[in-house]
Amino acid sequence: MRPLDGIFVLDFSTLLPGPMATLLLAEAGAEVVKIERPGAGEDMRAYAPRWGADSVNFAMLNRGKKSVALDLKDPAQRTKLDPLGARADVIVEQFRPGVMARLGLDYDSVVKINPRIIYCSITGYGQNGPKRDVAGHDLNYIGDAGLLALSMGGADKPVVPPALIADIAGGAYPAVMNILLALAERARTGKGRYLDVAMTDNLFPFMYWALGEGLAAVEWPANGENLVTGGTACYRLYPTRDGKVLAAAPIEQKFWDNFCAIVALEPRFAADRFSPETAARVAEIVRSQDAAYWEARFRGKDCCCSIVKSAQVAISDPHFAARGLFAHKLANEQGAVIAALPVPVDRAFRAPTDTPVAAPALGAHNADYIE
């Protein structure tokens, strides 16, 4: 048995945060039923690139779930959800505050028929506060929390982060964490709980060091000027001669000493790894050689340095193959198979890897749940 075998989840969410959260629950054994609008289904189905009938994004995030197509605005259809709400262990929704209440599907309505329900709402700014109804996306959330300002490039060429930090780290992961905590609490008390997951709120732990510097030392970090945002020579990205990039992170003194020896950094620069002059000199040295030269020089040395890899190269890394990271497979309705999205659920808790698993076709499970 897997840890969440027997747990029944109703998923009203779309796009990334909620679907990622319920994917993790499904991979751990939960029965997850997506409630989608008839005709088009959730928005992610239509994204590019397509992989079979739906987008590969949808397939990645909804592997192993069930789909029920139902018009939530139609009271007659909505009543078909009552038996599912009564037996559900978990509900995940991602609408703006108030939407589920207007549909009669909010926590206060569901808890009357199911006092054991764990009801998780994921929003950008939470269920209360001046911004509760403000529309936003990941870039807005990390901007409002102050996270983006710590490292966003220069004003002449600002850099958009490569990951949807708020959606995943501020939304999906805290949702799963709190759902599991609530399940543990319910096992003890017999009662469910309402969970208000605000993606912007959950970004502040990522700035623990910035908050510490600002609140205690009254030295608020500026854009790209601190230890872990590229403001030092010992935690920085250095271009190589052939246009690739060295990720250098020799923060501790022993690693810095090794690094300086490998790149033959002059003692007067090596003595101060926090000065702009040192960073400029290291950049000059690294740019004098190709990436392959530096990769060979750093191999087997303790100095926390590596050449930045593309995603295409990274997935072929023998290290990840040895760990079985891409052993689970994703299928589509045409029989095509690719690697499934790796998720942070221990392999011991997941299903065997020998059978590819697909995302559901729209409404494929209506007969099983509401008809």
| Catalytically active residues, by annotation | 167
Buried (b) or exposed (e) across 7-17, using 16+ Cβ within 10 A? Answer: bebbbbbbbbb
Residue 171's nearest CA partner among 235, 123, 221, 112 is 123
318's enclosing H/E stretch is helix 318-322
Residue 307's nearest CA partner among 292, 287, 288, 289 is 292
3-state secondary structure of 90: strand
Point out which residues pair with 331 in neighbouring strands: 337, 358
d(CA 322, CA 220): 43
Residues with Cβ within 8 Å of 313's Cβ and at least 6 positions away in sequence, in order, are: none
User: Residue type for 99, please?
Assistant: V
- Measured in whole angstroms, the distance separating CA 276 from the mean position of its chain's CA atoms is 34
Cα dihedral across residues 169, 120, 204, 99: positive or negative: positive
- Is 28:349 a contact under the CB 8 Å cutoff? yes
User: Cβ of 143: how many Cβ atoms within 10 Å?
Assistant: 15
Buried (b) or exposed (e) across 95-115, using 16+ Cβ within 10 A? Answer: bebeebeebebbbeebbeebe
